[in-house]
Amino acid sequence: MAEDVGFDSQVAAKMVEELRSGFRTGRTAEYEWRVTQLKGLVRMIDERETEIVDALDKDLKKPKMESFLHEISLVRSSCLMALKQLKQWMKPVKVPSLLAAHPSSSYIVSEPLGIVLVISAWNYPFLLSLEPVVGAIAAGNAVVLKPSEIAPAVSSLFADILPKYVDNSSIKVVEGGVAETTALLEQKWDKILYTGNSRVGRIVMTAAAKHLTPVVLELGGKSPVVVDSISDLKVAANRIAVGKWGCNNGQACIAPDYIITTKSSAPLLVDAFKFALEKFYGKDPQESKDLSRIVNSNHFARLARLLDDDKVSDKVVHGGQRDEKRLFIAPTLLLDVPLDSLVMKEEIFGPLLPIITVEKIEESLDIINAGAKPLSAYLFTKDKKLEENFIKNISAGGILVNDTTLQVASPHLPFGGVGESGMGAYHGKFSFDTFSHKKAVMSRGFGGDLPARYPPYTPQKQKLLRGLLSGSILALISAIIGWPRIE
Amino acid sequence: MEELGQKVSFDSKRAKEMVNELRGSFEEGKTMGYEWRVEQLKAILRMINEREADFMAALHSNLSKPYFESFLHEISLVRASCSLFLKQLKHWMKPVKVPAAITTYPSTAHIVSEPLGVVLVILTWNYSFMLSLEPVIGAIAAGNAVVLKPSEVAPATSAIFAKIFPEYVDNSCIRVVEGAIHETTALLEQRWDKIFYTGNSRVAKIIMTAAAKNLTPVILELGGKSPVVVDPDCDLKIVAKRIVVGKWGCNNGQACVSPDYIITTKSFAPQLVDALKSTLEGFYGKDPQQSKDLSRIVNSEHFGRLTRLLDEDRVYDNVVHGGQRDEKQLFIAPTIVLDAPLDSLIMTEEIFGPLLPITTVNKVEDSFSVIKSRPKPLSAYLFTKNKKLEEKFAMTISAGGILINDTTLQVTNPDLPFGGVGESGFGSYHGKFSFDAFSHKKGVLSRGFGGETPARYPPYTPWKQALLRDLINGSIITLILALLGWPWRE
Listed by number, the residues of chain A in 73-92 with a beta carbon closer than 8 Å to a beta carbon of chain B are: 73, 77
Chain B residues with CB-CB distance to A391 below 8 A: 112, 444
Q: How confident is the model at residue B483, as a pLDDT? A: 60
pLDDT in tens, B9-68: 889 999 999 999 999 999 999 999 999 999 999 999 999 999 988 888 888 887 787 887
- Cα B162 → chain centroid: 22
Interface check for B68 against chain A (CB to CB < 8 A): the answer is yes
Interface check for B236 against chain A (CB to CB < 8 A): the answer is no
Q: How confident is the model at residue A485, as a pLDDT? A: 39
Helix or strand holding residue B162 (H, E): helix B155-168
Interface check for A200 against chain B (CB to CB < 8 A): the answer is no
Beta-carbon separation of A399 and B443 below 8 A: yes
Listed by number, the residues of chain A in 126-145 with a beta carbon closer than 8 Å to a beta carbon of chain B are: none
Q: Is the dihedral of CA B199, B205, B209, B212 positive or negative?
A: positive
Across-strand partners of A318?
Answer: A333
B402, B390 Cβ separation under 8 angstroms: no
Q: Å from A153 to nearest chain B CA?
A: 24
Beta-carbon separation of A399 and B445 below 8 A: yes
pLDDT in tens, A235-290: 999 999 999 999 999 999 999 999 999 999 999 999 999 999 999 999 999 999 99
Chain A residues with CB-CB distance to B97 below 8 A: none
Q: How confident is the model at residue B8, as a pLDDT? A: 63
Average pLDDT over residues B458-486: 74
What order of strands is seen across the sheet that includes strand A332-335?
A: A316-318, A332-335, A352-358, A258-262, A224-227, A376-380, A398-401, B439-447, B107-115, B96-98
Average pLDDT over residues A167-176: 97
Q: Kindly report the backbone phi and psi dihedral angles of residue A145, in degrees, each rounded to the nearest multiple of 5, phi listed first.
A: -105, 130
Q: Å from B434 to nearest chain A CA?
A: 14
Q: How confident is the model at residue B382, as a pLDDT? A: 98
How many other CB atoms are there within 10 angstroms of residue B107's CB atom? Answer: 21
CA dist., res. B112 & res. A401, Å (int): 14
Q: Å from B78 to nearest chain A CA?
A: 12
CA dist., res. B179 & res. B161, Å (int): 12
Which of the residues B70, B71, B406 would you substitute to probe the A interface, choosing the one with the greatest number of A C-beta atoms within 10 Å? B406
pLDDT in tens, A363-411: 999 999 999 999 999 999 999 999 999 999 999 999 999 999 998 888 9
Coil, strand, or helix at residue B30?
coil
Q: How confident is the model at residue B72, as a pLDDT? A: 74
Residue A3, pLDDT above cutoff 60? no
Chain A residue nearest residue B285, CA to CA = A456
Residue B6, pLDDT above cutoff 50? no
Q: Å from A414 to nearest chain B CA?
A: 6
B488 or B190, which is more confident? B190
pLDDT in tens, A434-478: 999 999 999 999 987 878 889 888 888 877 777 766 655 555 555
Beta-carbon separation of B412 and A398 below 8 A: no
Chain B residues with CB-CB distance to A449 below 8 A: 238, 241
Residue B489, pLDDT above cutoff 50? no
B229, B379 Cβ separation under 8 angstroms: no
Beta-carbon separation of A96 and B428 below 8 A: no
Q: How confident is the model at residue B474, as a pLDDT? A: 66
**pLDDT over 90, % of chain B:** 76
Residue B480, pLDDT above cutoff 80? no
Interface check for A423 against chain B (CB to CB < 8 A): the answer is yes
pLDDT in tens, B62-87: 778 788 777 777 788 888 899 999 99
Cβ contacts of residue B284 below 8 Å, gap of 6+? A455, A456, B248, B291, B293, B294, B334
CA dist., res. A428 & res. A414, Å (int): 8
Chain B residue nearest residue A114, CA to CA = B422
Interface check for B237 against chain A (CB to CB < 8 A): the answer is no
Active site residues of B: 221, 256
Average pLDDT over residues A329-354: 96
Bridging pattern class, strands A224-227 and A258-262? parallel
Interface check for A197 against chain B (CB to CB < 8 A): the answer is no
A94, A161 Cβ separation under 8 angstroms: no
CA dihedral B261, B262, B267, B269 (to 10 degrees): -70
Instruction: Output A82-90 pairs: Cβ under 8 A, ≥24 positions apart.
Output: A82/A38, A82/A134, A82/A135, A82/A137, A82/A138, A82/A431, A82/A432, A83/A35, A83/A38, A83/A39, A83/A42, A85/A429, A86/A31, A86/A34, A86/A35, A86/A38, A86/A138, A86/A432, A87/A31, A89/A138, A89/A429, A89/A432, A90/A31
Cβ contacts of residue A431 below 8 Å, gap of 6+? A78, A82, A131, A132, A134, A135, A136, A138, A139
pLDDT in tens, B367-404: 999 999 999 999 999 999 999 999 999 999 999 999 99
A469 or B183, which is more confident? B183
Chain A residues with CB-CB distance to B415 below 8 A: 95-96, 98, 106
Count of alpha carbons within 13 angstroms of residue B484, beta-carbon side? 10
Chain B residue nearest residue A436, CA to CA = B421
Coil, strand, or helix at residue A260?
strand
CA dist., res. A462 & res. B67, Å (int): 9
Evaluate the omega torsion of the peptide bond into residue A214 and state whether it is cis, within 30 degrees of 0.
no
Q: Kindly report the backbone phi and psi dihedral angles of residue B326, in degrees, each rounded to the nearest multiple of 5, phi listed first.
A: -145, 100
Q: Å from A310 to nearest chain B CA?
A: 31
Residue B303, pLDDT above cutoff 50? yes
Residue B339, pLDDT above cutoff 80? yes
Q: For residues A442-476, b (16+ Cβ closer than 10 Å) or e, as one string? A: bbbebebbbebbbbebeeebbebbbbbbeeeeebb
Mean of all residue pLDDT scores within chain B: 91
Chain A residues with CB-CB distance to B68 below 8 A: 455, 457, 461-462
B129 or B185, which is more confident? B185
- Cα A325 → chain centroid: 33
pLDDT band at B2 (very low <50, low <70, confident <90, very high): very low
pLDDT in tens, A76-118: 999 999 999 999 999 999 999 877 777 899 999 999 999 999 9
Q: Å from B239 to nearest chain A CA?
A: 8
Chain B residues with CB-CB distance to A236 below 8 A: 449
CA dist., res. B236 & res. B240, Å (int): 6
Residue B351, pLDDT above cutoff 90? yes
For the question of an ipTM over 0.90, the answer is: yes
Lowest mean pLDDT of A2-11, A125-134, A349-358, name the range: A2-11
Residue B1, pLDDT above cutoff 50? no
pLDDT in tens, A39-60: 999 999 999 999 999 999 999 9
- Cα A89 → chain centroid: 20
Which of the residues A110, A205, A383, A486 would you substitute to probe the B interface, choosing the one with the greatest number of B C-beta atoms within 10 Å? A205
Which of the residues A65, A69, A141 would you substitute to probe the B interface, choosing the one with the greatest number of B C-beta atoms within 10 Å? A65
Lowest mean pLDDT of A199-203, A457-461, B262-266, B474-478, name the range: B474-478
Closest listed residue to residue A286, CA positions, set A274, A296, A277: A277
Residue B197, pLDDT above cutoff 90? yes
How many other CB atoms are there within 10 angstroms of residue A96's CB atom? Answer: 12
Which of the residues B457, B465, B469 would you substitute to probe the A interface, choosing the one with the greatest number of A C-beta atoms within 10 Å? B457
